[in-house]
Amino acid sequence: MGTSGAYSGSGGKDGKVVRDRVADYLDGLSSADGAGSDGQRPPLDPAALQRIINLIRPRLSSGGAGDGPSGGGGGASGDGTGSRGGGGPQRTAAGSARTAGRAAAAAYAYSAGDATTLQRLGLDYNELRSLGDDIEVVRRIVEMACSTSDSSIEDHEQRFVAAEVAEWVMEQGRDGYRLTPEEMVRQTIAVIIAETLLVETGDLVNSHDLADVAESDIRDAAEAIAAQADLSVDGATEDEIGRAVEAGLERIRGIVGGGN
């Protein structure tokens, strides 16, 4: 969950707003072991956290070559806008969408027995099946999706998102359920937002006595934020998922705007 060590958020106006809202929520969670006067724990309003989207930078208007769903670049690029400030992770919507899209497509293909798609992604279906261990399958998918690790915070985020998305897709398929591409895209957007929130507030959340409860509430809030996006998904290839995830993140950015 989130990061360990001394990282305490990206800074900047948007980062401070999100951290302040989470700190207020955690203060309420501490009182009476997280239960209010009616016996329920205090709510975490998704609207209070939606400015987290401004810490996931958009693509440069000039095109941001190499950082899109089918590009070869990672999440760190120069495609930022405005006053993000604070010297935090150089995360981008395009970079996050690219790696998560590859992981989702690979997990979907593995669950469907689609050896052709896996081969295109550099994976061997029979070899993965012979492992007999879904954890190792997810690890192989993450290594394919995220390429060489550079140990940066954004690299950590992308790997965590890729693993969680791949695991979720495979879990849905175990009972024979066939996910729609839109379901995969929306869940991927939610996971990207959740991990960004958990990284940016990790020093606050991880030290709390009810950290598990707080993480669950943050993930629920991320799903509610992701639900705002009006999605258009063409299919389940890595490029189609990646494009739809990036577009969904940008639609949420348009809804949120500068915040208040």
Indicate whether 20 pLDDT > 90. Answer: yes
> Of 34-38, 73-77, 185-189, where does the model show the most confidence?
185-189
Poorest-pLDDT segment among 33-42, 58-67, 127-136: 58-67
> Of 60-74, 87-101, 235-249, where does the model show the most confidence?
235-249
pLDDT at residue number 4: 46
Read off the pLDDT of each residue in 99-109 and give the average, rounded to a whole number.
Answer: 98
pLDDT at residue number 72: 37
Read off the pLDDT of each residue in 57-84 and give the average, rounded to a whole number.
Answer: 46
pLDDT at residue number 30: 80
pLDDT at residue number 39: 56
Looking at per-residue pLDDT, the higher value among 119 and 83 belongs to: 119
Read off the pLDDT of each residue in 36-53 and give the average, rounded to a whole number.
Answer: 81
* Confidence bin at 86 (pLDDT 50/70/90): very low
pLDDT at residue number 122: 97
> Of 24-28, 107-111, 146-150, 171-175, where does the model show the most confidence?
107-111
Query: DSSP for the chain?
Result: ----SS-----HHHHHHHHHHHHHHHHHHHGGGG--TTSPPPP--GGGTGGGGGGSBPPPTT--TT-STTSS--S--S---S---TT----BHHHHHHHHHHHHHHHHHHHHT-HHHHHHTT--HHHHHHH--HHHHHHHHHHHHH-S----HHHHHHHHHHHHHHHHHHHHHTTT----HHHHHHHHHHHHHHHHHHHHTHHHHTTSTTHHHHHHHHHHHHHHHHTT-------SSHHHHHHHHHHHHHHHHHHHTT--
Indicate whether 85 pLDDT > 60. Answer: no
pLDDT at residue number 189: 98
pLDDT at residue number 150: 82
Indicate whether 258 pLDDT > 60. Answer: no
* Structure confidence by residue, pLDDT tens digits, 172-217: 988 888 999 999 999 999 999 999 999 999 999 999 999 999 999 9
Indicate whether 35 pLDDT > 90. Answer: no
Read off the pLDDT of each residue in 79-90 and give the average, rounded to a whole number.
Answer: 49
Domain ranges of the chain: 12-256
Looking at per-residue pLDDT, the higher value among 251 and 30 belongs to: 251
